Amino acid sequence: MNIFKIYLKKIQNLIIENNEILNLKSDINMEGVIIETPPLELNYDLSTNIALVLAKKTKQSPVKLAESIKKIIQENLEDFSAIVVAGPGFINFKFTSKMYQKLILNILKSNNIYGSNKKNESYNIEFVSANPTGPMHVGHSRGAIFGDVLANLLTFNGNNVTKEYYINDYGNQIINFTESIFYRLREIKFKEKFVKKENLYPGDYVIDIAKKILIESPEIDLNNFKENFSILSKKALEHSMDLIKNDLKSLGVTHDNFISEKSLVQKNLVQKSIQHLKDKKFVEEGYLNPPKGEKNKEWKKIKRLIFKSTLFGDDTDRALQKDDGTWTYFANDIAYHSDKTARNYNYLINVLGADHIGYVKRITAATKALSDNKTILICKVCQLVKLFKNGQPYKMSKRAGDFISVSELLNEVDKDSIRFMMLNRSNDVELDFDFDKVLEKTRENPVFYVQYCYARISSLFRTLKLDASSRFEIDEKNFDLNNSELNLFRKILDWPKVIETASNKFEPHRIPFYLYELATLFHSYWSKGNEDPKYRFIVNQKIKNKNTLLVIKIVALTIENGMKILGVNLPTKM
């Protein structure tokens, strides 16, 4: 129930029907016309710039045109008690008492789907996809929460969403990780000193994995690394993925699919995908120019297969083979995206880390080539997370190796705070995560402030000895809302628009922003009751105005829906 879209359509239709009276063409362009919530101090419900936009296009006086449009709306719509022309030509509207009641009842009837716009598209969201060489670090947690909440948001908005993890279990990093496990196994079993070699993994978690493998397979052959690589890598990856899945679970993150890179290679999907692009004349043998900054004398000019990525908006064509003729990581990723496009989603979304920003154009180009421009790929890059404690950067632990693990983060703050705060900034800007602020019980801590709002509402129902899920009737004869209640109600009317915008732009950070603003309005109203008796909800253990209870109930309902999308709990007592 997006009233902004509803009334925009109604008003636009009235303009078209009365175009001659307004001295407009029947096919007048409505681009740029919006309906929004006016500033609170104006005390109106809706505002439109339609007269300003159309006046500019037809060289009329905006104020005169606004007055003419106002008259037409008054004659055709009974939903408004007041319509005024303001400023340079804005038109502001206030709903009738009857319309307020109707909207409140519609919100209550919608209940746990209030705000959903029922888009009914299909999405595949691939997120986290950390190399399976150890536990997750803090940077992974931001992408994990972003992807999970984006999936919740799109699902809430009526779409079908598949959450996917792409396991990078093929390549040099797996060889290095398995070799690290091998030397730790020998260290434990034969009391050998751990070999110090470049690219080996130093974290103590590698020792833990080695111990688990020895408990499961005490007779495992440790005489020759190459001969036993297959069984060692399989066991190492199983335990490493268990670490990752446990970290994800502790953050409240789940996936529907886990897709193995190695399995795609074994199915010969890389060759098939490259051949598919070859048949389309998008892949050919050739030579690449030296990378920027590479000294020409150090550059080897080698003939190899090249994807003509520039045909699809990339800055340069891309190599599909390394110097030794083996496939590049990009070639394997083409195979994975070929697999995804074959599953016929309307949209593919890749959530990437900050270090992959340069990868966006090439994989977008590959998806266009694979799908004949039919599949839309959206890449969302999550920037770095900087941790602070006591005003200082939070130091990494030696146990993890060279990063701060998710388990360390969870030792400091709870899952709910992490999920909320990781979305408290847009994904494309760096995030400062301050432990001290997250632990505060003040309005400076957004997650506490929203949870406290809900707890206050819950306490109100407890005081009245009412079940919040009960059905409450509108007092039609005495229907009246004070300014604070109207401001809350208007903010709640914004919710479907927030959901639609956040979904269309793939920006889940808009949800915590909105919830904080809604909570701020409620806390302000609560405080007014402490300062001025006329604003108190309860007198002698009874609700003073039954309609106040309805407004408070839809505040609670909206917070419930929003926090469910965020995957954050709502305590009823704090």
What CA–CA distance (Å, rounded) separates 504 from 497?
Answer: 10
Whether residues 160 and 193 fall in one domain:
no
If 0-12 CB within 10 Å is exposed, 13-18 middle and 19+ buried, where does residue 571 land? exposed
pLDDT of residue 476: 77
- Of 227, 250, 273, at which residue does a domain stop? 250
Q: Across the beta sheet with 257-260, what order do the strands follow?
A: 257-260, 160-167, 122-126, 347-353, 376-382
Rounded CA Rg of the chain: 29
Tokens representing 324 are 């030794």
80: in domain: yes
Phi, psi of 38 (to 5 degrees): -75, 165
Q: Which two tokens stand for residue 230?
A: 């297959």
Q: Are 7 and 92 in contact (CB under 8 A)?
A: no
DSSP bridge partners of 28: none
Q: Are residues 459 and 549 in the same domain?
A: yes
**Helix ranges, 284-393 (H):** 329-341, 360-371
91 and 66 in one domain? Answer: yes
In a domain, 399, yes or no: no
Say yes or no: 42 and 130 in one domain.
no
Q: Are 47 and 37 in contact (CB under 8 A)?
A: yes
Q: Answer whether residue 329 is part of any domain.
A: yes
Number of H helices, E strands in the chain: 20, 17
Number of domains in the chain: 4
DSSP character for 291?
A: P
| Distances in whole angstroms, Cα of residue 553 to Cα of each of 13, 100, 566 | 34, 15, 20
* Residue labelled with tokens 């908006």: 313
- E strand or H helix that includes residue 376: strand 376-382
Give the alpha-carbon dihedral of 208, 213, 219, 224, to 10 degrees: -90
State residue 402's pLDDT score. Answer: 64
Q: State the Cα–Cα distance between residues 314 and 360, nearest whole angstrom.
A: 9
In a domain, 520, yes or no: yes
Q: Is residue 561 within 8 Å of 554, Cβ to Cβ?
A: no
What's the CA gap between 81 and 102, in Å, rounded?
14
Burial of 525 (0-12, 13-18, 19+ CB in 10 A): buried
Instruction: With respect to residue 427, please indicate whether it lies within any of the assigned structural domains.
Output: no
Angle 382-384-390 from CA coordinates, rounded to 5°: 135
Report whether 188 contacts 210 (CB < 8 A). yes
Is the same domain home to 243 and 329?
no
Shared-domain flag, residues 61 and 140: no
Q: In this structure, what CATH number is given to the domain that contains residue 132?
A: 3.40.50.620
Find, among 102, 115, 107, the residue nearest to 474 by Cα. 102
* CB neighbour class for 188 (10 Å; exposed up to 12, middle 13-18, buried from 19): middle
Do 149 and 260 lie in a common domain? yes
Domain that holds residue 523: 441-566
pLDDT value of residue 398:
44
- Domain boundary residue, one of 233, 250, 267: 250
Give the CATH number, domain containing residue 516. 1.10.730.10
Nearest in space to 289 (alpha carbons), one of 311, 315, 271, 326: 315
Do 560 and 496 have their domain in common?
yes
Q: At 79, which CATH number?
A: 3.30.1360.70
Among 198, 230, 250, which residue terminates a domain?
A: 250
Report CA-CA distances (Å) from 515 to 427, 453, 491, 498, 509.
Answer: 18, 10, 10, 10, 10
Residue indicated by tokens 């060759």: 271
Rounded to the nearest 5°, which phi and psi values hold at 147? -65, -40
Residue 404 included in any domain: no
CA distances from 333 to 196, 258, 314, 361, 371 (A): 32, 15, 16, 13, 15
State whether 461 and 520 are in the same domain: yes
How far is it, in rounded angstroms, from Cα 541 to Cα 108?
24
Contact indicator for 181, 209 with CB cutoff of 8 Å: yes
Is 176:201 a contact under the CB 8 Å cutoff? yes
Two tokens, residue 336? 């994975």
What type of residue is 451?
Q
Whether residues 154 and 42 share a domain: the answer is no
pLDDT of residue 405: 85
Is 311 inside any structural domain?
Answer: yes
What is residue 298's predicted lDDT score, i.e. its pLDDT? Answer: 64
Contacts 24+ apart (CB under 8 A), 462-470: 463/538, 463/541, 464/538, 464/541, 464/542, 464/543, 464/549, 466/549, 468/553, 468/556
From first to last of its 574 residues, what are the pLDDT tens digits of the chain?
A: 789 999 999 999 999 999 888 888 777 888 999 999 999 889 999 999 999 999 888 888 999 999 999 999 999 999 999 999 999 999 999 999 999 999 999 999 988 899 998 778 999 999 998 889 989 988 899 999 999 999 999 999 999 999 999 999 999 999 999 999 999 999 999 999 988 888 898 888 999 999 999 999 999 999 999 999 999 999 999 999 999 999 999 999 999 999 999 999 999 999 999 999 999 999 999 988 776 665 555 667 788 999 999 999 999 999 999 988 899 999 999 999 999 999 999 999 999 999 889 999 999 999 999 999 999 999 999 999 988 888 888 875 544 456 788 988 898 899 999 999 999 899 999 999 998 888 898 899 999 999 999 999 999 999 888 888 877 778 777 788 899 999 999 999 999 999 999 999 999 999 999 999 999 999 999 998 888 888 888 888 788 788 889 999 999 999 999 999 999 999 999 8
Which pLDDT does position 543 carry in this prediction? 82
Query: What is the β-pairing status of strands 35-36 and 376-382?
Result: unpaired
CB of 245 within 8 A of CB of 132?
Answer: no
236 and 283 housed in the same domain:
no
422 assigned to some structural domain: no
Sheet holding 431-434, edge to edge: 392-393, 385-389, 431-434
Q: 290, 299 in Cβ contact below 8 A?
A: yes
Q: What is the pLDDT of residue 399?
A: 47
pLDDT at 296: 59
459 lies in the same domain as 561: yes
